[in-house]
Structure 1
Amino acid sequence: MIARLLMTLSAAIIFTLGTLHLVFTFRGNKLLPRDHELIDRMAQVSPVISDQTTMWRAWIGFNASHSMGALLFGMVFGYLAIRHEAILFQSPFLLVVGLAMLGGFLVLGKRYWFSVPFTGICIALACYLLSMLLGALR
């Protein structure tokens, strides 16, 4: 029961971060550069890989798809913890995939982001690891 709760909490934290990130991508100014001229310049410049987009459109797309990844993690692992606990905790593949995802978020958070998402990821990862440990002890 505690393992399930911790796994659900881990998933809920990442889901919440993903939701907030998606909202901030399309609403408000939280993910906008402080330099408004930079937005104009990003809207005019294409990346080397293709002239079919701009750096600004890529920025929005990357932020949205990043959010979708966090939402997917939260939904899948939350659902499995709540509805299919045995499948989740008896599957080394699923547990390692989840751990790798959170580990990747942790590295990115430390290197590229700021303290709020990094702290949330640390808590989610701690819940996940404790959940795995308690699940293995059953």
Structure 2
Amino acid sequence: MMVGALLGIAGLIYIALGTLHAVFTLLDERNPRRLAPDDPAVFTAMQNSTMRLSRGATTMWQAWISFNLTHSLAAILIGTACLIVMAHLGLFVFSPWALFALAGVSALFALIGLRYWFGVPRAATLIATASLAAAWLLYT
């Protein structure tokens, strides 16, 4: 019971973060003001600079949008995996490694968050990681 609740908490956190991040990214594509540079000169430079790897086919702004959208998708997928495991806890016997893998991926997100993110996503990811680690420990 407690393992399911912990999985649900972590899953909902990741789905909420990923969905909000995707919405902000899509809104910024037309009216940059959330996940966009504060300095207008940097924004203009991102729109006018291409990635060397793309040989002029992709601007830094396009790359920024795609990086944010794929990051959002990853968070939503982690959250969905948590909810799938939670929903099937009583139906199947899961290897503890499944929960360990979820906790491990979440821990990687948390480590990145500690270094590069700001308040809310950092704290939420730490809470999700603690929930998944506790779920794994209780399940083993």
TM-score (norm 1): 0.89
| Aligned residue pairs, count | 135
**RMSD, aligned α-carbons:** 1.7
Q: Identify which of 78, 101, 106 aligns with 2:105.
A: 101
AA partner of residue 60 (structure 1)? I
1:58 and 2:63 aligned = yes
How far 1:88 moved relative to its partner? 7.4
- List alignment gaps of at least 5 residues for structure 2: none
Structure 2 counterparts to residues 33-112 of structure 1, below 5 A = 33-50=37-54, 51-82=56-87, 84-85=88-89, 90-112=94-116
| TM-fit CA distance, 1:85 | 1.1
Residues 19-72 of structure 1, C-alpha deviations (whole Å, 9 max, x = no match)? 111111112521011112221211111122112101000000000000000001
The CA deviation at 1:100 is 2.0
Q: Structure 1 residues 39 and 92 mapped into 2: Cα distance closer, same or farther (>3 Å)?
A: same
The alignment status of 1:134 with 2:132, answered yes or no, reads no
Percent of aligned pairs with the same residue? 35
Q: Which deviates the most, 117-126 or 33-42?
A: 33-42
Quick check: 1:106–1:122 contact (8 Å CA) kept in 2? yes
Note if contact 2:103-2:136 (Cα within 8 Å) is conserved in structure 1: no
Alpha-carbon distance, 1:101 to partner: 1.2
Q: Could you say which residue in structure 1 is the equivalent of 2:119? A: 115
5+ residue gaps, structure 1? none
**2:135 aligned partner, one-letter code:** S
TM-score (ref. length: structure 2): 0.88
CA displacement at 1:89 relative to structure 2: 6.3
AA at the equivalent of 2:86:
A
Q: Which residue of 2 aligns with 1:16?
A: 16
Residue by residue over 1:74-128, the C-alpha shift from the partner in whole angstroms, topping out at 9 and shown as x without a partner, is: 112112212x115776224422321221011011101111111110011111111
Write the letter of the residue equivalent to 1:47.
M
